[in-house]
Structures are given as C-alpha cells and as structure tokens.
Chains A and B, each alone.
Chain A
Amino acid sequence: MIEVQHVTKRYGPVTAVDDVSFRVDSGQILGFLGPNGAGKTTTMRILTGCASATEGQAFVAGYDVFEEPVEAKRRTGYLPETPPLYPDMTVREYLAFAARINGIRSVAQRERVAAAMARTNVEDVADRHCGKLSKGYRQRVGLAQAILHNPDVLILDEPTAGLDPKQIIETRELIKELAGDHTIILSTHILPEVAQTCERVVIINKGRVVAVDTPENLTGRLRGSETIRVQLDPRGADETAVVQAATVPNVSNVTATPTQDGLVTLEVQCEKGADVRSEVARAVITSGWGLLELTSMRMSLEDIFLELTTSEEPREEDAEAPEATDA
C-alpha cells in the first residue's frame, strides 16, 4: 500500500533523509520512531507531497507520489505536526472546506463531515472557531480532516501530542479501529504507544533507518542475554539459593543484592533465547528460601530505542544493514 524506495532528501549540505526504504502492507499500522530531527516529519512530508525528494521513489496506493501526485493525494489523509486549521473558520466550516478541496461536495459533504466529527468526538465544538480550540480539540479536528475523505492511507505526525491521558487512549483506540480499512503511518515520541498500536516499527535516526521490525521482535532481537529478577526472602537460610541458581543450565551469571527490608534481589542472566524461569524457581525453592517475585526483565522499547539511536556509528551500521533488505 505504501512503498518507499531509497528516498533521500538533502538541503544543501545537510542530508535530512538518507536512503530510507520501507513498506507498509494494506491495513497495517506502522510506527515511525526516532529522536527529534531524525527525519520522520520530512519523510512524511515527502509521502504527502508537501516536500519533494532528492532521490528515490515513493508509492502510495499504487501511485507514484512524484509522477501522479493528485491521484496519490486523493488517497492520502495527512495530519501534520501542527494541525493545519484556519483560526477564523468554525470546525464545521473548516471540515466542509477540507471536504470540498478533496472533491466531496453537496449532499455527501454533510454526511462525511458529520461522520468525521462523530468519529473524532468533536461534535460539541462544531460551531466554535478553530482558533479558540484547546490543543486536544485542535489535534482531533486535524484528525477529522485527515479521515474525512476516507483515504486508503493515513499519515499521522504525532497524533497524540498535546492530548490528555484519556484522549490519548481514545485516539489510540480510534487509530486501531481505522487500521482495518486504512493503512496508517504514525510517528510518535511516546514509545509505549508504538508497542500498543503498531504492528511494525521503523526506527529512524539521523535520517537513516536503523531498524524495521515488529515491536515484539525488536524487544526480543536486541537482547544479548536475558535477565530474570528474583526477589527472595532469606528466612535465615544460608546463601545456597544463589549457588543453586547459578548451577541451572544456561545461566551465565548471578548477582545478589540485599535490599533494605532484609530481602535479597537476584539478577540471573542467562543465554539468549533460553527460558530458565521454572528451573530458577525450582532451584530457589529447594534451597529453602522464600520466593516472593520472579520477573523476566525484557528490554523495553525505550531501552532499544536508546540503544539504537545513541550507540556509536559502526554499531548503527550493523543494525541497519540487514534491516534495509528486510524492509
């Protein structure tokens, strides 16, 4: 549905987007993740025709965005970083205008505007001026504008920025709902959002794609080793638990740290891919210690994000190279 092939964007000596390639299948939600200035917005602007690329090709719904921009734009809904609202129009007028420039007129226009307002929950401000709306409403009116003409592809630049927690949940639900009929690209800073809403993640840093994968695989793939955190009650027993845990197969290292309330926390590291939780639990129980808590410490998306975007150049290249073909 969306295909980006080796897109590069240069501003004079600055390369904002460097040879970015990825694909989004029909009905999928793709999360676009990266620090500020990574090139997320630029890539999105290229896809929506607001900017042009120095090199490369991009297809939206089968149309080349550079060769057949009007056809591609007809099938794209775009919510830029700042919702593009005209302050002197009421929400209803604004959406009617947005409908008209998308070729929706007369009877259909009213229905579409009403439907989009209902979907994004902005009916109660329908007759207020866009300039007087709160950030949350602006964002949702912007979203209403993007889905108004029922496009195949939705490109949302930080759709939940500036919303309160309740609205964020509602918007995420809405985006998930939309995913069935629409193919969605969304960019965000909020990492859990990607884990919750997206089926695939593109991590981009300094204009380059650093990783493309599902959120689950990403969390799995980057663990060199897995860590289990075990909280124990010593109950006066000796330190055999530590020894016992260390003898479990595949366990590479065990560190014990006493906590302030007299408990002990064990960090058990094991080989990648091995699940040693039940063995560790058994070892602890047989040693006579009380097992209070056992948590598998998966690397959160945040850790991965930081690792991918802050690590040194050569590492980045390693991570990126196999992914480019994967995309």
Chain B
Amino acid sequence: MRNILTIALKELRSYFVSPMAYVAIGFFVFIYGYFFVVSLNFMVRVSMQAGMMGGPQAINVNEYMVRPLLGNMAVVMLFLLPALTGRSYAEEKRSGTIELLLSSPLTGPQIILGKYLGALALFTLMLGVTFVHVGVLFLYGEPELGPILSGYLGLWLMGGAFISVGLLISSMTKNQTVAVVGAFGTALMLWIVSWIGDPSSGSTTTEVLAYLSILDHFDDFSKGVIDTKHLAYYLSFITFGLFLTARSVDSERWRG
C-alpha cells in the first residue's frame, strides 16, 4: 500500500510541477463555468416560456440545469482525460525512467495502481473545484442535493473508466501523442458504440452494444438513480482496463 502511495504521489507531483495540472484544472473549471451559464440561461428561458403559457414558473433546477450541465461535462472529460494519462507510461518508456521502476522491488500491480490513483487524484481535484459552482446554485436556488451527488458520482466513475483506458493505451507506446490520440479514439468509440444498433429491433447485438456504451450507463446517475448495474459496469470496466495494462506492461518485458 505504501508503495502504491509513493508512486501515486510521484505521479501527482509530476502533474503539478509541469503546467499540465494547471492547464487541465483551469480549462475544466472554465468550461464548466461556461456551460453553467449556458444551462442557466436555458433554464431561465424555459421557465419564462412556461410562465407565459400560464404554467408553473418554478422549474426543476436538477432536471433543466444540473443534468444537461453534467452531461456536457462528460463530453469535456472525453477530450481532457486522455491528455492527462497520455504521458503516464509513454514518457517513462521514452526517457528510460521506467527501468528505475521495473528494477525496483515494486510489483507490476503496485506501479499500475499508483499511476492510476495519481491520475484519479488529479481528476478528483478537477471535479472537486467545480463544487464552487454547485455552491452558487444552492445560494440562489433550491436544487436537490441527491441527484447532484449521484451525478457527480457518475462523472467520477466515468472519468475513472477513461483514465484506465488512457493508462492502457499509454502503456502500449513510447509516443505521448499516439497515447493521447489512441486513448481518445478508444474512449470515443466506447462512447458511441451503441449508435450502430437499432433500438427498435430489440436484438441481442443492440442490447450488448448498448450495455458496452460508456455513456448509457451515465444517464441514470444524472437522473439521481444509483443503480448497482451501472456501478458494476464502471467498476468492472476500470478493473479490466487495469488488468489489461498489467498484461501490456508485462508483455513489454518479453518484447523489449
């Protein structure tokens, strides 16, 4: 456990001594703020329209504001997280520092978990900073806390899944750019994989593809539902990603 922590802290530190962490957190929070305003305007417009139609003006903040906001942030994560994990293994392999880790008395899983937790910690921090916006929401409105928290949990799990994909791709190459593009491509594919199926047909293939889609599992979280089915999906996704990373790192010992 201490070994994992040592690696995790080293990873986290490497994000903060380079502009990486600041750029990532900065842009994430900035874009969050932008979407916050966009969603707010949207909600106000809907609310006013409802008022003009003679309906009730008080619109559900969770449904009309938080849910689209978190949905948009999921897309931002799709772009941002592969960039975070791209250097993880690729850079160590390029500069040869991986040999320091490989020749030290650390086990493969310790190194992988350390790297994973390091990236996850930075992502958690990114997500944590956006609670400032949520605070503003509570200051001026009356949103429900539950769905917000479950939405964040969904985002966090989805981010964890992206990071495990990123780590896997990064462990396969020495080139950071390849790692970033590869991880983005893979994550995007997992995102849109269900689109090819025909929902009306109800065939097994469609169902399997829908189950694989990283996005479909997020939906319930943002509605305020924490379903074990989706928890299991993300957790097994992450575990499988890390397992493949371990295999990939190990295979490197055979090839090089």
Residues of A within 8 A of B (CB): 11, 45, 48-52, 70-71, 73-74, 76, 78, 80-89, 97-98, 100-103, 105, 145
Contact = CB atoms under 8 A, between A and B. Distances in A.
B106 interface: yes
A82 B95 CA distance: 8
A2 to B, nearest CB: 14
A70 to B, nearest CB: 5
27 contacts: A45-B99, A48-B103, A49-B253, A50-B102, A70-B106, A70-B107, A73-B103, A73-B104, A74-B105, A81-B96, A82-B96, A83-B96, A84-B95, A84-B97, A84-B98, A84-B99, A84-B100, A85-B97, A86-B14, A86-B97, A88-B18, A97-B6, A97-B10, A98-B100, A101-B3, A101-B7, A102-B105
A50 B95 contact: no
Interface string B80-119: 0000000000000001111111111111000000000000
B140 interface: no
Nearest to B7: A101
B117 to A, nearest CB: 15
Contacts, number: 71
Contacts of B52: none
Contacts of A50: 99, 102-103, 253
Contacts of A145: 100
Contacts of A51: 253-254, 256
A52 B7 CA distance: 23
Nearest to B256: A51
B136 interface: no
Interface residues of B, number: 25
A45 B254 CA distance: 11
A52 B253 contact: yes
A153 B255 CA distance: 25
B139 interface: no
B17 interface: yes
B6 A11 contact: no
Given A70-B105, A73-B104, A145-B100, A88 B255 contact: no
Nearest to B102: A50
Interface in B1-46: 2-3, 6-7, 10, 14, 17-18
A299 B2 CA distance: 55
A45 to B, nearest CB: 8
B95 A87 contact: yes
A80 B95 CA distance: 11
B99 A80 contact: yes
Contact of B103 (A52, A78, A85, A103): A78
Count chain A CB atoms within 10 A of each CB in B7, B99, B103, B106 and give the residue with the most: B103
A73 B105 contact: yes
Contact of A49 (B95, B96, B102, B255): B102
Contacts of B103: 48-50, 73, 76, 78, 80
Nearest to A84: B100
Contacts of B18: 88
Nearest to A48: B103
A109 B157 CA distance: 37
Nearest to A71: B105
Contacts of B107: 70
B104 A101 contact: yes
Contacts of B6: 97, 100-101
A211 B96 CA distance: 30
B137 to A, nearest CB: 38
Contacts of A101: 3, 6-7, 100-101, 104-106
B96 A84 contact: yes
Given A84-B99, A85-B97, A88-B18, A103 B256 contact: no
Contacts of A78: 99, 103
A86 B14 CA distance: 9
B6 to A, nearest CB: 5
Of B95, B100, B255, the most chain A CB neighbours within 10 A belong to B100
A102 B104 contact: yes
Contacts of A89: 17
